[in-house]
């Protein structure tokens, strides 16, 4: 999946995900947080920005009847033109009196000399314009560093739920509205996800069979299940790892932390025996990958390459890869260690594997916390500042982007090929189903699927949309909302060995208590 055109797309997405992940803050992050805490809404900001009704409810407008100018601000562009720019072209074609300018701070994400500095500079500028009331643009795909959920409390962003609910072109039944409920904060939807994703994992089918676990009966995974199975599998095969690649002993914390934080009740329970046991069990993991360099380790989250690794180890055959053309993938397949599970984002690529029978892998399965809650997140959100001069036109464009499409394959006169509407799960159910069926027809999106015989497989988009509804019927949490910075304590415990599990739990509890009452 990382060959040809998709390599650039997915590596860039991985970069953005790493920048937006919660709980892993650098010193620059901490300095930015200080700026965040010191920022407040200007005195001139109207109280009406926190009401539940838009200034003027959007009405169904015939094509061509809209007029005005819009600017959409975003940090970094992955493709040229981007999906957003193509949809802006489409909207302007339908509405000739509308002009949309898509303003990227960085026009080529792969050419940024200092990613942290660029991101920090963009976030600081946006923050200043929001709190001063000068932000007259739609925010798109804001870096996690900007933390819209925190700044929205000061009223600098419009609540978009009334626009969504009163838009006559929108039928809520045709959208995954469970996600909107999950990402709302204090009843307000200040950030509208264009698409969403959640964490998942594939399981090593042969390893699961060796411990007599029937993978067909599994619906979701959590850390307790994974650790139980790992300990059983390791008793039979001491060389097996929990996760393919060197993911870090703290990896499972990101999906388990939600079980110990009650945001509504403003309490946490990290000093519980259950969490201390979690720390001790994960600290005992063997995560080493001595034969992989950093680039090869990135390929460890590709399920098809994990499949090829297992196939080659079982059969003794050489990989079906060209080492000269794909050296890092080849290094992972030939030098990586077998593991019980392969990490994935449940994006459109992974979701279409549901129900696909693979000899060496089962899944993918959503990963929940031990309370059965699924953490949803998004990259490509829209947000509208309260200072926006034409919020109705802004919503009309957002509504168009969310709305049902005839095709999820985007084309433009300025592009050399086609782009997918989204890499993740679109909020619109019909677009989700159509994307699932169409994505493999775009040149460059087929990567390592041939290793598992998936090339050319037909996808039932509607059945997959129903499966997604089942997943979203579980308790959902907003991953972006849970942002206490405890990484230094995890590092002290897992990497440096400076603290015991009890001491680590105490430090995390103290930090989260402060975060809950800020």
Which residue ranges make up each domain of the chain? 28-194+378-403
Question: In sequence order, what are the residues at sequence separation of 6 or more whose Cβ sits closer than 8 angstroms to the Cβ of residue 320?
Answer: 308, 450, 451
Cα–Cα distance measured from residue 4 to residue 6, given in angstroms and rounded to the nearest whole number: 6
Cα–Cα distance measured from residue 37 to residue 33, given in angstroms and rounded to the nearest whole number: 6
Which residue did the predictor score with more confidence, 208 or 15?
208
Band the pLDDT of 62: cuts 50, 70, 90. low
User: Is the model's pLDDT at 498 over the cut of 80?
Assistant: yes
Helix (H) or strand (E) holding 201: strand 195-204
Cα–Cα distance measured from residue 332 to residue 183, given in angstroms and rounded to the nearest whole number: 36
What's the count of helices (H) and strands (E) in the chain, helices before strands? 20, 16
Rg (CA), the chain: 23
Distance of CA 161 to the CA centre of its chain: 21
Place of tokens 């005839």: 406
Q: Is the peptide bond before 364 cis (omega within 30 degrees of 0)?
A: yes
Q: Coil, strand or helix: which one is 28? A: helix
**HSE of 59 in the Cβ direction (CA atoms, 13 Å)?**
5
Band the pLDDT of 57: cuts 50, 70, 90. very low
Helix (H) or strand (E) holding 27: helix 27-38
Mean predicted confidence (pLDDT) in 332-360: 93
Band the pLDDT of 444: cuts 50, 70, 90. low
What is the 3-state composition of the chain as percent helix, strand, coil, each rounded to the nearest 5?
A: 45, 15, 40
Cα–Cα distance measured from residue 103 to residue 137, given in angstroms and rounded to the nearest whole number: 9
Q: Is 385 exposed, middle or buried (0-12, 13-18, 19+ CB in 10 A)?
A: buried
Identify the weakest region by mean pLDDT among 7-16, 130-139, 191-200. Answer: 7-16
Q: Which two tokens stand for residue 212?
A: 């007599």
Whether 152 and 175 have beta carbons less than 8 Å apart is answered as: no
Whether 261 and 482 have beta carbons less than 8 Å apart is answered as: yes
| pLDDT-above-90 percentage for the chain | 66
Count the neighbouring beta carbons within 10 Å of the beta carbon of residue 373.
17
Burial readout 412-446 (b: 16 or more C-beta within 10 A, e: otherwise)? beeeeebbbbbbbbbbbbbbbbbbbbbbbebebbb
Q: At what angle do helices 501-516 and 273-283 cross, to 10 degrees?
A: 120
Cα–Cα distance measured from residue 93 to residue 66, given in angstroms and rounded to the nearest whole number: 11
Cα–Cα distance measured from residue 279 to residue 265, given in angstroms and rounded to the nearest whole number: 24
Residue-wise pLDDT tens digits, 341-352: 999 999 888 999
Q: Which two tokens stand for residue 300?
A: 């460890």
User: Is the model's pLDDT at 268 over the cut of 50?
Assistant: yes
CATH: 3.50.50.60, 3.40.190.10, 3.40.50.1110, 3.20.20.60. Which one for 28-194+378-403? 3.40.190.10
């Amino acid at each position: 999946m990382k060959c040809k055109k998709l390599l650039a797309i997915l590596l860039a997405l991985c970069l953005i995900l790493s920048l937006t992940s919660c709980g892993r803050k650098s010193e620059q992050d901490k300095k930015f947080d200080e700026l965040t805490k010191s920022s407040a809404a200007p005195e001139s900001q109207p109280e009406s920005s926190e009401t539940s009704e838009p200034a003027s409810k959007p009405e169904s407008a015939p094509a061509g009847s809209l007029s005005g100018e819009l600017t959409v601000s975003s940090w970094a562009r992955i493709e040229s033109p981007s999906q957003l720019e193509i949809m802006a072209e489409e909207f302007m074609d339908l509405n000739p009196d509308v002009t949309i300018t898509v303003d990227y701070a960085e026009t080529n994400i792969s050419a940024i000399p200092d990613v942290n500095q660029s991101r920090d500079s963009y976030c600081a500028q946006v923050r200043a314009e929001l709190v001063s009331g000068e932000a007259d643009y739609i925010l798109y795909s804001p870096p996690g560093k900007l933390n819209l959920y925190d700044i929205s409390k000061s009223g600098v962003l419009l609540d978009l739920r009334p626009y969504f609910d009163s838009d006559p072109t929108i039928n809520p039944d045709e959208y995954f509205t469970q996600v909107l409920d999950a990402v709302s904060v204090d009843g307000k939807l200040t950030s509208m996800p264009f698409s969403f994703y959640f964490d998942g994992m594939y399981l090593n089918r042969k390893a699961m069979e060796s411990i007599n676990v029937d993978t067909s009966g599994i619906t979701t995974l959590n850390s307790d299940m994974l650790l139980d199975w790992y300990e059983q599998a390791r008793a039979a095969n001491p060389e097996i790892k929990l996760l393919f690649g060197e993911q870090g002993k703290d990896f499972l914390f990101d999906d388990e932390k939600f079980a110990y934080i009650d945001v509504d009740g403003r309490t946490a329970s990290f000093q519980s025996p259950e969490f201390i046991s979690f720390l001790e069990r994960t600290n005992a993991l063997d995560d080493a990958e001595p034969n992989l360099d950093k680039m090869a380790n990135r390929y460890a989250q590709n399920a098809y390459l994990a499949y090829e690794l297992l196939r080659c180890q079982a059969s003794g055959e050489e990989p079906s890869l060209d080492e000269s053309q794909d050296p890092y993938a080849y290094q992972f397949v030939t030098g990586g260690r077998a593991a019980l599970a392969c990490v994935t984002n449940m994006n459109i690529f992974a979701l279409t594997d549901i129900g696909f029978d693979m000899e060496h892998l089962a899944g993918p399965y959503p990963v929940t916390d031990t309370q059965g809650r699924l953490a949803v997140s998004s990259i490509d959100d829209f947000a509208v500042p309260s200072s926006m001069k034409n919020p109705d036109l802004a919503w009309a464009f957002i509504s168009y982007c969310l709305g049902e499409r005839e095709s999820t394959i985007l084309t433009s006169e300025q592009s050399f090929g086609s782009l997918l509407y989204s890499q993740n799960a679109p909020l619109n159910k019909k677009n989700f189903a159509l994307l699932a069926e169409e994505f493999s027809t775009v040149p460059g999106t087929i990567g390592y699927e041939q290793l598992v015989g998936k090339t050319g497989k037909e996808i039932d988009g509607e059945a997959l949309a129903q499966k997604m509804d089942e997943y979203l019927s579980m308790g959902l949490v907003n991953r972006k909302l849970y942002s206490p910075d405890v990484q230094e304590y995890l590092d002290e415990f897992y990497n440096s060995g400076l603290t015991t599990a009890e001491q680590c739990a105490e430090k995390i509890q103290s930090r989260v208590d402060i975060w809950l009452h800020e």
